[in-house]
Amino acid sequence: MTAVPTWFGPADRPLFGWVHVPADNRAAGAVVLCPPVARELAATQVCYRFVAEELAAAGMLAIRFDYDGTGDSTGVDLDPQRVESWLASIRQAIDLARSCGAQSVSLIGMRVGALLAAVAAARLGSIDAVVLWDPCESGRAFVRQEAALLRLLSNDHQGTGDGTELPGFVFSAETVSHLGSLTVPADGARPSRVLLLTRPDRRPATKLTDALGTEPDLAEARGQELLLEVEPGSRETPHDVVAQVVSWLHRGNPASPGVVSISAQDAASVPFEGTRLTERTIRLGPAGLFAIVTEPNTPTGTPTVLMLNAGNDWHVGPNRLWVDLSRRWAAAGFRCVRFDESGLGDSPPRPEKPANLVRSPDAFDDVKDARFAVEPDDPTNVVLVGLCSGGYQALEDALVRPTRAIYAINPVLHFAPPELATGAMDPRRRICWPVSGLASTYRSWLAEPVRRRLRKVLWRSIHLLNRDRGRDASTWFDQLRIDGVEVLVVCGEDEARPFGTTPAETLGAAAGHDSIRLDVIEGLDGALMPAWQRAEVSRRLTDHLVGHFVPAEERPIARVASA
Amino acid sequence: MSEEPTLKDQIRQVLAEHARLAVPIGTLDDHADLFLAGMTSHASVNVMLALEDRFEIEFPESMLRKSTFQSVAAIDAALSELQSVSA
């Protein structure tokens, strides 16, 4: 089997996707995977890749793709006509499947993706089978659920002034309205077969299947809560359900195997705020790490920006922040590369290594390979950007190799390295404070209010202990200062605690030096879910980048481009 | 003769089905903190949607905060307020 990345669809507004081709280049029909939207899109990226791989293994061509304004495709949340653009994206993915030689096309959709798949099937016709996986029966219910979740995740909701804010994303009033009124047309085409997967504790979305007019086969969508309703690092793909879906599609597939081929486009001209940028898929280093590079129209000699994975989110970054910043900063003259570390996102694991392992020690090799691949003549000429585990890894890497700058957002230093499960901590880890069994016991024995009262005393003790071990922030901040690295750490109060309980304790000898900056923002969410936080962090990073790497006489132009 | 379930009984039933608590709901008193008992923000949204479904009400935006779903007693107070408004 092969998986081929490609741009497709309209040349003036390209979409991005992957075509999974069976091993012998012969496929019995194609399956287009319609993803969920907003937060649930990131939650299902690994699951969808697994589904596509299983479909290809079963002899079907599989296409996974990003709707217009999502993932790596062109556009943003607040562009007009989102819902119709998403439906048009499905049509273009179907066209891509047919252009590869597929004789029949089926659709899989999860959550809002299921609603969109049902509408697309009824509108377009000629769809063989449709899988409605834990569907949102209405777009209104989805928006209400996600808006409520943001409010329950964050008590400092500030509102956006325009539209509805969901965790990590903003939908315009038009999008909310169009999604709320989206229904399957009564006189639409009927797919040959429908599989409806419903959570065991929910009612089947029969309104959707009744409108489609095809009597559905019914099954349970087990495991959705572990896929969609957990922290990013804890998501689990429901393998049994995937096997059931693939088997159902394979069993009733009327297509006979035929030759398929893909004419992939590895580069595209992407419009962004009045200019056009070139984006291209590349592979980095011997591990073949997957990356997308966004090129400025006029190379300026500035360092290349490398964006790291946040947890096990894929290369589009937390709430798609890396895509937005890549295009914004490329418009300001910077070459930006967003990539997946080995075993994460769209990169293969290294030999004999597990996939989807967050904070793997292999990340040390991945970042090294990436910087040598993008700047072979001077691998120090990079700016590393990361959030959470990516922020941690950026700091670690800059302590090993000279680096122009690092932007670490909410870096997590206090965690259990995965290698501890089988042995000692990797000696390359210089700033990690490994979570011990004692810490776990403390967390499980003492209630949060008690822990809150003990927090200051406890952190102070930990700082004193780590100072003796040379792992305290003041030691390595000073090392970065001596090495000439520009450092900007942006974090909330909770994430700031491991750095120190006082400014002197945190920065030590680096205090007062402009090259080392620690910005603590009150209430900053670990994953930047509220829109104002993403805007504020983007502004601080952009000002720093332009201020340090664009000559003074060119800054007004760069600032306009990056505003 | 069986008695009609009280509002709190019905809340507890919804919590048993949707809150994914670390301990059985029957072991918690009405004022026990449900978030400390393992209810996540995601689970609290499922509880909210299930309560809306069962009682045919809609929580207004002003009630969409953690304190509304903090305990059986807090949910009971919120539902009572909503039902008195709609009565």
Place of tokens 């589904």: A51
Q: What pLDDT was estimated at residue A288?
A: 97
Residue A153: list chain B partners with CB under 8 A.
Answer: 41
| Interface touch A152/B18, C-beta < 8 Å | no
In this complex, which of B18, B36, B45 lies closest to A149 when CB atoms are compared? B45
Give the minimum alpha-carbon distance from B12 to chain A in angstroms, rounded to a whole number. Answer: 16
Q: Which residues of A touch B (CB under 8 A)?
A: 141, 145, 147-149, 151-153, 155, 201, 225, 228-230, 447-448
CA distance A520 to chain B (A): 25
- Number of structural domains in chain B: 1
The Cβ-side half-sphere exposure at A255, using a 13 Å CA radius, reads 27
Q: Is any Cβ of chain A less than 8 angstroms from the Cβ of B20? A: yes
The answer, for B31 touching chain A at a CB cutoff of 8 Å, is no
CB A58 within 8 A of CB A24: no
Rounded-to-integer distance, Cα A340 and Cα A291, Å = 6
Cα dihedral A187→A189→A194→A196 (10° resolution) = -40
Q: Is B55 on the interface with A (CB under 8 A)?
A: no
**Inside any domain, residue B1:** no
Whether B17 and chain A come into contact, CB under 8 Å, resolves to: yes
Chain A residues whose CB is inside 8 A of the B64 CB are 147-148, 151-152
Q: Quick: pLDDT tens for B53-67.
A: 899 899 998 899 999
Q: Is residue B66 part of a domain?
A: yes
DSSP string, A352-391: T--SS-TT-THHHHHHHHHHHHH-SS-TT-EEEEEETHHH
**What's the pLDDT score for residue A88?**
98
A225·B61 Cβ contact <8 A: no
CB contact under 8 A, A152 and B46: no
Please state at what angle helix A139-153 crosses helix B41-55, rounded to 10 degrees: 130
Q: Nearest by CB to B64, from A141, A148, A448: name it.
A: A148
Domain A2-138+184-255 has CATH 1.10.10.60: no
Output DSSP code: residue A508: G
What residues of B are in contact with residue A448 (Cβ under 8 Å)? 36
Compute the residue count for chain A.
563
Tokens of B3: 């008695």
**Cβ of B59 and A148 within 8 Å?**
yes
Closest-CA distance, B69 to chain A, in angstroms, reads 9
Q: Which of B18, B20, B48 sits opposite A148 (nearest CB)?
A: B48
Contacts of B84 (CB under 8 A, 6+ apart): none
Task: State the nearest Cα–Cα gap between B26 and chain A, in angstroms.
Answer: 20
Q: Which amino acid is at A346?
A: D
Domain that holds residue B55: 7-86
In a domain, B39, yes or no: yes
Angle, CA of A31, A243 and A40, to the nearest 5°: 65
CB within 8 Å: B46 and A229? yes
Q: Contacts of residue B61 in chain A, CB cutoff 8 Å? A: 151
Pick the CATH number of A275-562 from 3.40.50.1820, 3.40.50.2300, 1.10.260.40, 3.50.50.60: 3.40.50.1820
* Separation between Cα atoms, residue A265 and residue A92, nearest integer Å: 15
Burial pattern A133-171, b for ≥16 Cβ within 10 A else e, equals bbbbbbbebbbbbbbbbbbbbbeebeebeebbbbbbbbb
Task: Give the number of other CB atoms < 10 A from CB of residue A399.
Answer: 17
B61: in domain: yes
pLDDT given for residue A313 in this prediction: 92
> Cβ–Cβ of A151/B61 closer than 8 Å?
yes
CA distances from A161 to A148, A165, A179, A532, A539 (A): 17, 9, 19, 11, 19
**Is A230 in Cβ contact with B42 (below 8 Å)?**
yes
State the alpha helices, DSSP H only, in A401-445.
Answer: 437-445
Pairwise CA distance, residues A154 & A151, whole Å = 5
Q: Domain-by-domain residue ranges, chain A?
A: 2-138+184-255, 275-562
The alpha carbon of residue A429 is apart from the nearest alpha carbon of chain B, in Å, by 32
**Given a cut of 90, is residue B2 above it in pLDDT?**
no
A228 contacts B65? CB cut-off 8 A: no
Question: Nearest Cβ partner of B49 from A145, A155, A448?
Answer: A145
Is the sign of the CA dihedral A429, A433, A438, A440 positive or negative?
A: negative
Task: Spell out a b/e string for A528-561, using b for 16 or more CB atoms within 10 Å of the CB, else e.
Answer: bbbbebbebbbebbbebbbebbbeeeeeeebeeb
- Residue numbers in B near A149 (CB within 8 A): 41-42, 45
Please list every residue in chain B whose beta carbon sits closer than 8 Å to the beta carbon of residue A165.
none
A200: closest chain B residue by CA? B17
CA A205, chain centre distance (Å): 29
What CATH number corresponds to the domain at position B36?
Answer: 1.10.1200.10
The pLDDT score that the predictor gives to residue A361 is: 96
Q: Count other Cβ atoms within 10 Å, centred on residue A339.
A: 30
Neighbouring-strand partners of residue A338:
A292, A307
3-state secondary structure of A499: helix
Across the A:B interface, residue pairs with CB atoms under 8 Å apart total 38
CA distance A470 to A537: 30
Residue at token pair 């030689």: A101
Task: Please indicate whether, in this complex, the C-beta atoms of A447 and B41 are within 8 angstroms of each other.
Answer: no
C-alpha A554/C-alpha A384 separation (Å) is 23
Q: According to the model, what pLDDT value does residue A554 have?
A: 75
Per-residue pLDDT of chain A (563 residues; tens, 9 = 90+): 899 999 999 999 999 999 999 999 999 999 999 999 999 999 999 999 999 999 999 999 999 999 999 999 999 999 999 999 999 999 999 999 999 999 999 999 999 999 999 999 999 999 999 999 999 989 999 999 999 999 888 765 666 667 899 999 999 999 999 999 999 998 899 999 999 999 998 889 999 999 999 999 999 999 999 999 988 888 999 999 999 999 999 998 877 899 999 999 999 999 999 999 999 999 999 999 999 999 998 877 799 999 999 998 999 999 999 999 999 999 999 999 999 999 999 999 999 999 999 999 999 999 999 999 999 999 999 999 999 999 999 999 999 999 999 999 999 988 999 999 999 999 999 999 887 655 655 555 555 555 666 666 666 666 666 665 667 888 899 999 999 999 999 999 888 887 876 666 777 777 778 899 999 998 898 889 999 999 999 999 999 999 999 888 776 555 555 54
ipTM: 0.89
